[in-house]
Amino acid sequence: MRLVLFIPMLFLLPHCIQGQNINISGQIFDSRGEPLLQASVVDSLRGQANLSNTYGFYSLSARVNQPIILKFSYVGHVPQVFRFFAHRDTIINVFLAPQTLDEVKIVASKAALLDVQQISSVVLNGQTVKMLPSLMGEADIIKAFALTPGVSNGNEGSAGLYVRGGSTDQNLILLDGAPVYNPNHLFGFLSVFNPDIIKKAELIKGGIPARYGGRLSAVLDIVSKEGSTNQLNGEASIGLVSSKFSINGPIVKDKIGFLLSARTSYLDLILLPTRWDYNSGKSSQFFGYGMSDLNGKLSWKLSSKDQLYWSFYTGSDQFRINNQSYPNLQQGTRLNWGNLTTSLRYNRILNAKMFWNTTVYATKFNYTNQFNSREESSDSLIGRNLFRYSSGLNELAFRSQLDFLAAPQHYLRLGVDINRQRFFPRSIFKETASLDSLFLEETQERIRAHNLSLFAEDEFKLSSRLTLNAGLRLAMYRQETSFWRFEPRFNISYRLLHNLQLRAGYNRMNQFIHLISQAGLRFQNDLWIPSTSDVPPQSASQIVGGLLFKTQHNLTVSLEFYHKKTRGIIDFSEGSSFLLDYAKTYRELFTTDGTSTSKGIELFLQKRSDKLDFSLAYTLSKTTNLFTNLNNGKAYPFAFDALHNLSLSAIFTASKGWSFALNAYLRSGFPVTLPTAAIPYPEEAGFEGNRYVFIYTAKNNARLAVYHRGDLAIHHTKLKLNNKSRTWTISIFNFYNRQNPYHAQYENVEQVRVVNGVAEVSTTQQYVVRSFLPIIPSVAYAFTF
């Protein structure tokens, strides 16, 4: 306990007494009263620059009784300049009026060129995401991050998030402060995040600050918009797969605002004729799919210093197949999964130096897979079978953080995280019934765990050129036994020139929960489990370094290298299965001694102007996994390892409301497991044509062909009265119809030929490559009101 109390004191000791300095602080809002995060605040005389936090709060130091010139700016808004003398700590709240993008001239001042920026981080907003080409017209924030270095979405069309060789469960994905455990719709082809409600999404890949914990690879922090407190606004859209609707406005003018947004698919309506055919006996099969999202947010300005937020999200997927193989036999499969999150946040400006934020959240994920069959004669039941598998987890947590400008050189963040988790790894129910018997079998697994974390950060300006962000996180996790982990973090940046910065970082992370997904299954099949004495926590150490170069003409060049070592990863043991091994406990299904090594070099070029937004990302990387009991104890490539990965994105804004967007991708093929030998079936097996059995001796021992693809989007926006708009969007996924390899394997292919009137069957072994997504055009219509 003494050590815990001593940690924050280490950051408070130096330079805490500055008698000649005062603090200028406050919040930055847009004209609707919504806080602007990462708005720029520049002290023109002293050359200082800062960015507002998630709630629009900023804080700068200044000399007492000296002239001060502060410039407040945010992209798409009219800058404001304040000139004044300050004799004491002063609070200034700023409201920035919007500009149309045609009026914005994006030119940076020298003071703001290299403002505070997290190493290995990328920030996107919902409006940018909606401009990019998309699959079936569904804009997706997670797919947009695949246009940045070190990030992959996995298989073609998927919305997975694989960062620097990490798996999807190693990302901390936050929506308004609450973690989302499964961010996928439509079997992974679409994420659950509706771009209409996204204000900002920041992806941090390395040098992760101490205020974040619990995952190994990355942090994706998504902040939703707040409702306007002075006018009612709304937007809606109709697309190929789904429709969206959102509305926001005041409940109490200038005090309480709300936001409500919904998204639903109509695939069930499109597939309704197949159900009619099935019910009428014209078809032996039908399937249906439903998907929905609902977001809400309430913001309440209690006073000029106090703000209260309540957010919630719920989303679900339902997939079902019914078939009738024989006249009296009906079979059906149902898959359901979904998330529920809610968070209550309170923040207060304590004084010109302190900002306090407290969050209470709850989150839940559940998954169910059900199979049933029913056989009956003309007058009675012959047999009935039901098999239902479900898993999930829920979490309740408290988090509190204090931001403290202890001195002009020290910006501190101190906080605590407490959460309780309940896991339901596997709940299995079996029912078998016949004319004269009934058999029931049920298995349930329930586990509880608790987590406590303390953290401290200090953003320390050692000189006008050198800045250090040092932090420490102490984490305790208890389930059966207690795990204590220290996690040091630091980022350091040195400004060589006014537009050139050297940067480096280190982070040690621990992850106390594990996700198991059955390899080879396309369907959702997530199983979350906690760390125990048998399944120790995962840990990772990452070193990152590089340089950042910016010009006054808004060209940004970032070059980074990284090296990451991960220990304690887990995977299914060879031959294990979710469903077939239901009699085993979850601990018997996998091996736990895996290590992963990732290293790479990343280049990112970005150019912004009033007409063109352009980016180019290139990654040279390698990731290998090693398990004692897998692949004969030899290292093998990670499932989505690609030596080369190049992506390009361009958005061009023309006149008269027209805009055009292009995405292009080029990367090495992903690993694939192919057989190393084939032996014929014995004659007594009864197969004609010399069928072969394939022998697999190595994992991920080959690669698919090179992957490349291009996507296009055309937008036309027409402004109406009161600045409302109507937008038509045409998007073409894979516009040159590249048949990219999705899966490859060797297969026995039978060939029949007739010789002298006799059919002869022969079997050859062929390498079969399957593609998945051809050219897919789509159209969408959106309007604001």
**pLDDT band at 12; cut points 50, 70, 90:** very low
pLDDT per residue over 684-726, tens digit each? 555 555 677 888 889 999 999 999 999 999 999 998 877 789 9
Q: Which residues contact 397 (CB under 8 A, 6 or more apart)?
A: 359, 360, 361, 362, 417, 418, 419, 420
Element spanning 437, H or E: none
Q: In whole angstroms, how far apart are CA 392 and each of 370, 431, 483?
A: 15, 22, 23
| Degrees, nearest 5: CA angle 592-593-594 | 100
pLDDT at 518 over 80: no
Sheet strands side by side (includes 218-224)? 121-124, 198-204, 218-224, 171-175, 178-179
The number of helices, as runs of H, and strands, as runs of E, in the chain is 6, 49
Distance of CA 681 to the CA centre of its chain: 47
**pLDDT band at 579; cut points 50, 70, 90:** low
pLDDT at 66 over 70: yes
What pLDDT, on the 0 to 100 scale, is given for residue 111? 37
Instruction: Give the Cα separation of 487 and 460 in Å (integer).
Output: 19
Q: Which residues contact 684 (CB under 8 A, 6 or more apart)?
A: none
Residue, of 161 and 442, whose pLDDT is higher: 161
What pLDDT, on the 0 to 100 scale, is given for residue 461? 87
Window from 174-188, 293-307, 550-564, 573-587 with minimum mean pLDDT: 573-587
> What mean pLDDT value characterizes the chain?
86
What pLDDT, on the 0 to 100 scale, is given for residue 126? 87
Q: Kindly state the average pLDDT of the residues 527-549.
A: 92
**pLDDT band at 117; cut points 50, 70, 90:** low
pLDDT at 2 over 70: no
pLDDT per residue over 92-116, tens digit each? 889 988 875 444 443 434 333 344 4
What pLDDT, on the 0 to 100 scale, is given for residue 408? 78
pLDDT per residue over 490-506, tens digit each? 999 999 988 899 999 99
Query: What backbone phi and psi angles, to 5 degrees, belong to 779?
Result: -135, 145
* DSSP annotation string for 36-78: -TT-EEEETTTTEEEE--TTSEEEEEEETTSEEEEEEE-TTB-
CB atoms within 10 A of CB 722: 8
pLDDT at 202 over 80: yes
- Within 400-545, residue ranges assigned H as helices are none
Element spanning 217, H or E: none
What pLDDT, on the 0 to 100 scale, is given for residue 115? 45
Instruction: Give the Cα separation of 784 and 237 in Å (integer).
Output: 9
In terms of phi and psi (left: phi > 0; alpha: psi -120 to 50; beta: otherwise), the region of 550 is beta
pLDDT at 390 over 50: yes
Residue, of 735 and 525, whose pLDDT is higher: 735
Q: Which residues contact 44 (CB under 8 A, 6 or more apart)?
A: 69, 70, 71, 109, 111
pLDDT at 18 over 50: no
pLDDT at 288 over 80: yes
Q: Kindly state the average pLDDT of the residues 229-240.
A: 92
Strand pairing of 90-91 and 21-30? Answer: parallel
Q: Looking at this protein, which amino acid is placed at residue 484?
A: W
What pLDDT, on the 0 to 100 scale, is given for residue 583? 59
Residue 467 structure tokens: 């800045």
What pLDDT, on the 0 to 100 scale, is given for residue 100? 58
Residue 2 structure tokens: 């003494």
10 Å CB burial of residue 765 (0-12, 13-18, 19+) is middle
Distance of CA 761 to the CA centre of its chain: 51
Instruction: Give the Cα separation of 182 and 180 in Å (integer).
Output: 6
Query: What backbone phi and psi angles, to 5 degrees, belong to 113?
Result: -60, -45
Q: What share of the chain in percent tops pLDDT 70?
A: 90
Q: Which residues contact 382 (CB under 8 A, 6 or more apart)?
A: 328, 375, 376, 434, 435
What pLDDT, on the 0 to 100 scale, is given for residue 401? 97
544 and 598 in contact (C-beta within 8 Å)? no
Q: Kindly state the average pLDDT of the residues 69-85.
A: 87
Residue, of 407 and 642, whose pLDDT is higher: 642
Helix, strand, coil shares, percent, the chain, to 5: 10, 60, 30
pLDDT at 635 over 80: yes
Q: Looking at this protein, which amino acid is placed at residue 402?
A: L
Q: In whole angstroms, how far apart are CA 339 and each of 212, 292, 426, 524?
A: 21, 11, 17, 13
| Degrees, nearest 5: CA angle 725-727-729 | 165
Instruction: Give the Cα separation of 121 and 500 in Å (integer).
Output: 17
Instruction: Give the Cα separation of 762 and 598 in Å (integer).
Output: 46
pLDDT per residue over 466-486, tens digit each? 999 999 999 999 988 899 999
Instruction: Give the Cα separation of 543 and 492 in Å (integer).
Output: 12
Window from 181-185, 310-314, 370-374 with minimum mean pLDDT: 370-374
**pLDDT band at 585; cut points 50, 70, 90:** low
pLDDT at 520 over 60: no
Element spanning 24, H or E: strand 21-30
pLDDT at 591 over 70: yes
> Count of alpha carbons within 13 Å of 747, Cβ hemisphere only?
9
Query: What backbone phi and psi angles, to 5 degrees, belong to 579?
Result: -90, -40
What pLDDT, on the 0 to 100 scale, is given for residue 59? 85
Residue, of 222 and 770, whose pLDDT is higher: 222
Q: Kindly state the average pLDDT of the residues 2-27.
A: 56
Q: Which residues contact 496 (CB under 8 A, 6 or more apart)?
A: 465, 502
10 Å CB burial of residue 654 (0-12, 13-18, 19+) is exposed
**pLDDT band at 343; cut points 50, 70, 90:** very high
pTM score of the predicted model: 0.89
Residue 545 structure tokens: 């370094």
Beta strands in 176-305 (DSSP E): 178-179, 184-185, 190-191, 198-204, 218-224, 233-238, 242-252, 256-265, 285-301
What pLDDT, on the 0 to 100 scale, is given for residue 183? 93
Window from 253-267, 566-580, 730-744 with minimum mean pLDDT: 566-580
